[in-house]
Chain A
């Protein structure tokens, strides 16, 4: 095979993928949007879309040769290993203290999963079969590992587009959420102050919490037990107090390494022939719908609670129930400060935000339980 053959094998779809790869690398470096993931994904998108790329499985002179990206995909994503290992790191990073000291924030985490189920209906309406619709809807979990886990469980051929959409919108939360929140709240509502009076939380509660959540979620949605379990195991490592070094390793080395491998592995599904099509554009649009309706669900639920509550809740807190941690909590806090410099919503928002992390995994489990593979 000559160099000229390689040149002539370049298709316009490959060039589109190079451009997408370049955009992802640009967003990672120049805008610092989820750089640990978008950079390897962007580079991987270019790597697998070179003609006769040796990074993918190829037949050379009648012999089948396995490419490293396919190999990584098969050992890390096809069997759901990477997303689960990443959850140990994420669990070790999360301090559930603000939630434990104000547990009613859990409700906002549940309400802000509305976008998942709304998008499920929209994806079916647009002609996706129920399994692919479920895989697309889970973009609304605003949680990369859960999206990968569910899309892979249903063996969705759109897994590449789903992961790109999930991580891109998570990075774009500061752009997506504020206009939606402003559209459905009044200035008076955004000015509501919420005094922060946390209940004290003992170490025993912090240790028991991840175990209890695993048992409850595991009984309610057994298929999600691996997801919840690994997330909570990471948190148990953090809270037990005797595994400080392991906790640091999980939060840093393990999470970084798995994110790097995950980003490169996903590129296996970013081949031009799988990615450059009408469905990818529809998936990106549906992902945006999911994030918007997650936000709407959380905010409207807070407004609903205010109908019965003496101590009014700033409805913006509901928007932090989306799982994109800690971006969403920061967005809500900043919006509160923009309206009133003396309004400190951060701790409430963090409580809602970490509850979103739990609720999104439970929502993923519900999807797995309700829709057969």
Chain B
């Protein structure tokens, strides 16, 4: 038996998780760019 209701209730976690990973990675990306500019 498939738990479709459970899957639907998991969608927000899936979206927030992926968005969270991208957000942190983008902040790290910006930090690297800034560090490279500052400490040439």
Q: Residue of A at shortest CB range from B34?
A: A212
B23 interface neighbour in A109, A126, A220, Cβ under 8 Å: A220
Would you call A125 and B18 a contact (CB within 8 A)? no
In the assembled complex, the Cα of A302 lies from the Cα of B15 at a distance in Å of 19
B27 interface neighbour in A216, A355, A371, Cβ under 8 Å: A216
A120 at the interface (CB under 8 A from B): yes
A349 at the interface (CB under 8 A from B): no
- Mark contacts of B1-21 with chain A using CB atoms, 8 A cut-off: 1 yes-contact digit, 0 otherwise: 111101101110111111011
In the assembled complex, the Cα of A125 lies from the Cα of B14 at a distance in Å of 13
B24 interface neighbour in A114, A217, A371, Cβ under 8 Å: A217
A199 at the interface (CB under 8 A from B): yes
Would you call A117 and B28 a contact (CB within 8 A)? no
- In the complex, which residues of chain B have a beta carbon less than 8 angstroms from the beta carbon of A220? 20, 23-24, 27
- Distance between A267 CB and nearest chain B CB, rounded to angstroms: 31
Give the contacts of A100-128 with B (CB-CB under 8 A): 100, 103-104, 106-107, 109-111, 113-114, 116-118, 120-122, 124-127
- Distance between A200 CB and nearest chain B CB, rounded to angstroms: 8
User: On chain A, which size bracket covers the interface?
Assistant: 35 or more
In the assembled complex, the Cα of A212 lies from the Cα of B7 at a distance in Å of 36
Specify the main secondary structure of chain A where it touches its partner. helix
- In the complex, which residues of chain B have a beta carbon less than 8 angstroms from the beta carbon of A371? 13
Would you call A199 and B10 a contact (CB within 8 A)? no
A246 at the interface (CB under 8 A from B): no
A130 at the interface (CB under 8 A from B): yes
- In the complex, which residues of chain A have a beta carbon less than 8 angstroms from the beta carbon of B24? 216-217, 220-221, 362
Would you call A124 and B21 a contact (CB within 8 A)? no
User: On chain B, which size bracket covers the interface?
Assistant: 20 to 34
In the assembled complex, the Cα of A200 lies from the Cα of B3 at a distance in Å of 52
Would you call A125 and B39 a contact (CB within 8 A)? no
- Distance between B20 CB and nearest chain A CB, rounded to angstroms: 4
- In the complex, which residues of chain A have a beta carbon less than 8 angstroms from the beta carbon of B3? 124-127
A201 at the interface (CB under 8 A from B): yes
A27 at the interface (CB under 8 A from B): no
In the assembled complex, the Cα of A213 lies from the Cα of B36 at a distance in Å of 14
Q: Residue of A at shortest CB range from B32?
A: A103
Q: Residue of B at shortest CB range from A203?
A: B39
Known: A114-B18, A125-B7. A120 touches B31 (CB 8 A): no
A319 at the interface (CB under 8 A from B): no
B21 interface neighbour in A110, A121, A130, A216, Cβ under 8 Å: A110
Instruction: Please provide the 5 A-B residue pairs with the shortest distance between their CB atoms, ordered closest to farther.
Output: A204-B39, A117-B14, A110-B25, A103-B32, A124-B6
B interface, CB within 8 angstroms of A: 1-4, 6-7, 9-11, 13-18, 20-29, 31-33, 35-36, 39-40
